[in-house]
């Protein structure tokens, strides 16, 4: 039975496709977007995470570790990653949940059971299940099996993807989904790499491939002030949308600081860049410009 690693299943989602949806957040992502405030989704495997605000300082985690991977520090337990076997003894020993695993291994059936609980809502609102993350396509077999299982139950599916995926696998996954939510972060390969850790060549290849796959596509453009919201990039993105020719709608997603992870991960990948959210006025203006260039309905959040 195919299994995958997810970080969370969120019900009553309203922003991850049409209608009310259940969003499955896959763990692991090939990108490292500097503005991402879900760093717990970066790594593909299970990760130990420590939340200092929940720690009661009992030391049970340190006492439970038989691999000497934890020691006492001035600000809480210190993790020695090289020694850590991820056995979970510290997690089991932690009363407050301050020490926990990010990610859990689940089967398709387990996800399906939870998704089916809201079937009535999907039927009433034209909703369904969205595979997101992290990057769902990076767990190809699991994503494919889940999409298939949902399809067999007659549940609408959306694949929320950054597009950094092997093309054949990408096509197969898209073919199994009812719609695609596609992120376009920057049109310059060099800048894209600087901002996300990878260039955009594969992403753009898959983006244009979508045009021939016959599935509805909604493009999402994160608007990160100072990083990708300049006129040149947005105009280039809008032109790409126009050229692709099969985009139903574009959503400009204004950066917001809400939900900035307060998790202090052991590898220090949680960061606050101090970015200011774009104002509603700014977003409205950008959306109007984008729509004028792309010819595609553009909204903002």
Could you give the angle at which helices 201-209 and 167-176 cross, rounded to 10 degrees?
A: 40
Which residues, in sequence order, are bridge partners of residue 1? none
Closest distance to other proteins from the beta carbon of 79 (Å): 21
Nearer to other proteins, 97 or 154 (CB): 97
Element (DSSP H or E) covering residue 113:
helix 108-116
Interface segment toward other proteins; rule CB under 8 A; list 111-119, 158-166, 228-236, 267-275: 111-119
Q: What is the H or E stretch that residue 292 is in?
A: helix 280-294
**Does the footprint of other proteins cover residue 11 (CB under 8 A)?**
yes
Residue 14 or 211 having the CB closest to other proteins: 14
Among 4, 5, 6, 8, binds other proteins (CB under 8 A): 8
| Binds other proteins by CB under 8 A, chosen from 113, 194, 211, 257 | 113
- What residues from 163 to 222 belong to the interface with other proteins (CB under 8 A)? none
Give the SS3 label for residue 60. Answer: helix
The yes or no reply on residue 124 touching other proteins (CB under 8 A) is yes
Q: Which residue among 2, 3, 10, 235 contacts other proteins (CB under 8 A)?
A: 10
- If the CB atoms of residues 8 and 233 are measured against other proteins, the closer one turns out to be 8
Closest among 72, 77, 4 to 41, alpha carbons compared: 4
Using the structure block, give the residue that is written with the tokens 């021939």.
Answer: 212
Alpha-carbon distance of 247 to 89, in angstroms, equals 49
Please give the size of the binding site for other proteins, defined by CB under 8 A.
27
CB of 192 within 8 A of CB of 198? yes
Residue 82 Cβ vs other proteins, minimum distance, rounded to whole Å: 29
Burial 11-26 (b: 16+ CB within 10 A, else e): eebeebbbbbbbbbbb
Both tokens of residue 110? Answer: 């387990």
Using the rule CB under 8 A, which residue among 2, 46, 121, 240 binds other proteins?
121
In the complex, least distance from residue 124 CB atom to other proteins, rounded to whole angstroms: 4
- Check residue 128 and report its DSSP letter: E
> Would you tell me how many other CB atoms lie within 10 Å of the CB of residue 28?
21
Q: Does 273 bind other proteins (CB under 8 A)?
A: no
Using the rule CB under 8 A, give the single segment among 109-117, 130-138, 201-209, 237-245 that binds other proteins. Answer: 109-117
Applying CB under 8 A, the residues found at the interface with other proteins are 8-15, 19-20, 22-23, 56, 58, 60, 95-97, 113-114, 117-118, 120-121, 124-125, 299
């Amino acid at each position: 039975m195919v299994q995958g690693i997810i970080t969370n299943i969120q019900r009553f989602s309203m922003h991850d496709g049409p209608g009310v949806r259940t969003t499955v957040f896959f763990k692991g992502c090939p990108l490292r977007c500097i503005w991402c405030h879900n760093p717990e989704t970066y790594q593909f495997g299970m990760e130990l995470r420590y939340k200092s605000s929940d720690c009661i300082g009992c030391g049970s985690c340190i006492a439970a570790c038989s691999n000497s991977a934890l020691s006492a520090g001035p600000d809480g337990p210190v993790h020695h990653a090289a020694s850590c076997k991820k056995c979970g003894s510290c997690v089991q020993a932690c009363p407050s949940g301050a020490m926990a695993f990010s990610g859990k291994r689940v089967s398709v059936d387990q996800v399906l059971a939870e998704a089916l609980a809201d079937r009535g809502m999907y039927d009433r609102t034209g909703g369904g299940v969205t595979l997101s993350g992290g990057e769902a396509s990076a767990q190809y077999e699991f994503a494919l099996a889940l999409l298939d299982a949902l399809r067999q139950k007659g549940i609408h599916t959306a694949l929320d993807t950054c597009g950094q995926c092997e093309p054949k696998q990408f096509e197969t996954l898209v073919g199994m989904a009812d719609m695609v939510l596609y992120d376009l972060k920057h049109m310059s390969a060099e800048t894209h790499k600087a901002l996300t850790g990878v260039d955009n060549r594969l992403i753009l290849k898959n983006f244009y491939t979508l045009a021939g796959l016959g599935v509805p596509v909604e493009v999402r453009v994160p608007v990160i002030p100072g990083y990708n919201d300049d006129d040149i990039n947005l105009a280039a993105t809008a032109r790409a949308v126009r050229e692709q020719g099969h985009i139903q709608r574009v959503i400009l997603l204004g950066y917001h600081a809400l939900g900035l992870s307060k998790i202090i991960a052991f590898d220090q990948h949680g960061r606050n860049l101090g970015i200011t959210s774009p104002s509603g006025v700014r977003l409205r203006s950008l959306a109007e410009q984008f729509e004028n260039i792309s010819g595609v309905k553009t909204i903002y959040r």
